[in-house]
Amino acid sequence: MKRVDWHPERFTRQMEGHQAARLDKAAIHLRNHIVKSFPDSGIQNATKGQRRMSARGRPGQIPLVQTGLLRSSMTHDQPDQFVRRVGPAADKSHAGGGVTIADIALWLELGTRKMAAHPFLRPGLEAKRADIGRILTTP
């Protein structure tokens, strides 16, 4: 009879590595989808006055790209072994007043008392929920 050695620690490490790789793949997939979902307003090269006059997008819709800062700041990170976050880089600053891109993203996603929400993270997650489930469960 052949002897079988069981190494639970090695098995656990391998399984954790596979799952971490799947989480990375799902986060990248979601990030890429969100970046592609931003509609181009066509005003990146417009003057400041033209930008103010341009349509900002309808409430409830994904915000129009005006400078590209928010779209280019989208990233994913790994705060813990089995946690991935997708969103704007928290350390990128904006052009003034100590406001970060993460602040602007929060205001757009949830709205303010003076501005309706222009969500882009939650619709992206909802659109890719099935794909993410498949990535996480497929060997």
> Contact 38/63 with Cβ under 8 angstroms?
yes
Backbone angles phi, psi at 81, to 5 degrees: -55, -40
Tell me: pLDDT of 40 over 60.
Answer: yes
How would residue 26 be classed by pLDDT, with cut points 50, 70 and 90?
Answer: very high
Q: What is the amino acid identity at position 28?
A: I
- For the residues 18-47, what does the mean pLDDT come to? 84
CA distance 131 to 129: 6
Tell me: pLDDT of 90 over 80.
Answer: no
The token duo for 95 is 């052009």
Tell me: pLDDT of 30 over 50.
Answer: yes
Q: What's the pLDDT score for residue 54?
A: 45
Domain borders along the chain are 8-137
Listing DSSP states for the chain in one string gives -------HHHHHHHHHHHHHHHHHHHHHHHHHHHHHHSPB-S-TTS-HHHHHHS----TTSPPPBSSSHHHHHEEEEEEETTEEEEEE-TT-B-SSTT-BHHHHHHHHHH--SSS-----HHHHHHHHHHHHHHHHH--
Question: 95 or 100: whose pLDDT is higher?
Answer: 100
Helix 121-137 and helix 8-37: axis angle, to 10°? Answer: 150
Tell me: pLDDT of 66 over 80.
Answer: no
